[in-house]
């Protein structure tokens, strides 16, 4: 998979516009509430930088950089391979990608990464968050979601969810419910702003 991404990046010319985004996610279960802010900027050249907190691990900040490659048509895609530095309760680095594919009113997106710890290899992990959504009409979409985590030398866990997303101009309000039928149910709410 990584080799295919490298070949794609080498072969494809980026044609992007500059974008800025601010995102605030709130993870809530019956025990705690965790805020996870993220800020990103994409240059006209396609180069991309992103900062996160409380996302890769609790009380941990991270900075990612990469380059976005996109194509807009009936079948559109956007791919951003990333390298990251992680500091806080977890120290290390990461390699990953953000990808989105859109066809008519359907959209599939995935954020996946491999994180490695410079402190303890038992903390190394693979993580992905994927969404499949349908636009009912402009400004309202819904779909299914899945998060998968594989810690070093473990079988891994999957969490399935559903979500509803409303958009008003440059603002987006997603609401996710993961493990909706189980005792480990939790909610993720977002308040996101994008300037294009």
Place 150 in a pLDDT band, splitting at 50, 70 and 90. confident
Domains defined for the chain, CATH in brackets: 2-195 (2.40.160.40)
Q: In the prediction, which pLDDT does 7 show?
A: 38
Round the average pLDDT of the chain to a whole number and report it: 90
Q: In the prediction, which pLDDT does 16 show?
A: 60
Minimal CA–CA distance to 27: which of 178, 181, 128? Answer: 178
Instruction: Give Cα 47 to chain centroid, integer Å.
Output: 17
How far from 189 is each of 23, 24, 160, 184, CA to CA, in Å?
Answer: 11, 8, 16, 17
118 vs 196, more confident: 118
Q: In the prediction, which pLDDT does 153 show?
A: 67
Judged against a pLDDT cut of 60, whether residue 160 lies above it is answered with yes
Judged against a pLDDT cut of 80, whether residue 126 lies above it is answered with yes
Minimal CA–CA distance to 135: which of 174, 165, 169, 109? Answer: 165
Share of the chain above pLDDT 70, in %: 91
153 vs 195, more confident: 195
Q: In the prediction, which pLDDT does 44 show?
A: 92
Over residues 145-153, the mean pLDDT reads: 87
pLDDT, one tens digit per residue, over 67-98 is: 999 999 999 999 999 999 999 999 999 999 99
Q: In the prediction, which pLDDT does 194 show?
A: 96
Contact 187, 174 (CB under 8 A): no
pLDDT, one tens digit per residue, over 27-58 is: 998 889 999 999 999 999 999 999 999 999 99
Model pTM score: 0.86
pLDDT, one tens digit per residue, over 1-16 is: 433 343 344 444 445 6
How far from 9 is each of 26, 34, 69, 127, CA to CA, in Å?
Answer: 33, 35, 7, 22
Minimal CA–CA distance to 105: which of 74, 129, 77? Answer: 74
């Amino acid at each position: 998979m990584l080799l295919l991404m490298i070949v794609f990046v080498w072969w494809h010319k980026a044609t992007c516009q500059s974008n800025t985004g601010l995102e605030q996610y709130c993870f809530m279960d019956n025990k705690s509430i965790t805020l996870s802010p993220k800020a990103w900027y994409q240059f006209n050249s396609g180069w991309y930088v992103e900062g996160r907190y409380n996302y890769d691990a609790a009380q941990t900040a991270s900075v990612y950089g990469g380059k976005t490659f996109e194509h807009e048509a009936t079948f559109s895609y956007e791919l951003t391979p990333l390298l990251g530095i992680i500091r806080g309760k977890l120290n290390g680095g990461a390699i990953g990608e953000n990808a989105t594919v859109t066809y008519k009113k359907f959209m599939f997106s995935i954020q996946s990464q491999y994180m490695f710890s410079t402190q303890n290899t038992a903390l190394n992990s693979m993580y992905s968050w994927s969404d499949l959504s349908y636009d009912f009409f402009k400004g309202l979409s819904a779909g299914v979601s899945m998060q998968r985590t594989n810690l070093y030398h473990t079988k891994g866990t999957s969490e399935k969810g559903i979500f509803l997303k409303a958009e008003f101009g440059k603002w987006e309000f997603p609401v996710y419910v993961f493990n909706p039928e189980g005792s480990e149910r939790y909610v993720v709410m977002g308040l996101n702003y994008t300037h294009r």
